[in-house]
Structure 1
Amino acid sequence: MITRKRRNHSPEFKAKVALAFAKEDKTVAELAHNYNLHANQFSICKKELLENASLVFASESLTGKGSSEERENLHAKIGQLIIGNDLRRKCSVVRVGTV
């Protein structure tokens, strides 16, 4: 028996399918034909969309918006760590060279 390779759809594709299904301007059979999916996939995508719809309106810390100050702090910390590492390397080279 030959098995078919399972298709993995991107989140963008699933969102597009779920929104098309939610519009209800076409039948499930028409959508299944257009998107080359089984009819059950539409209800699965719509269910996932409804379960995760609250994430669209999640706090800014989850979405990454409004975190420019945090990003600047992290970049400053990275710079400090790089300078510290460079200093340690130079000090270790000087110590090894004097022995």
Structure 2
Amino acid sequence: EMDPFIFMHDESESTDSEFYPITGHIHPAVKLSTKGRQKMHVPCFYFGQSHGMLPAFGTFTGNFRITPTQNDLVYGVVDKEIIDISTLI
């Protein structure tokens, strides 16, 4: 715990607490459309109303495509940089 956050492997471990859970089991990614009708999956940090999720970068880890809502915050990892892509989704 690190006020106001609680870090855990999976959101199912979450208890009703005053802390905002940040999880690492599901590795979020979003699909972005680029020029020339290309699509790319971007690993991302996701922060919704009830919890946050951290991305993965390992060779053997997959990504889970998420569909954020309007008020969610999404920060993509592109070319070793973290950029706010909340408005691009």
Query: Which TM-score band applies after superposition, normalised by the shorter structure?
Result: under 0.3
TM-score (norm 1): 0.22
The structure whose residues are more often helix, as a share, is: 1
The structure whose residues are more often strand, as a share, is: 2
Higher relative contact order (CA 8 A, sep 6+): 2
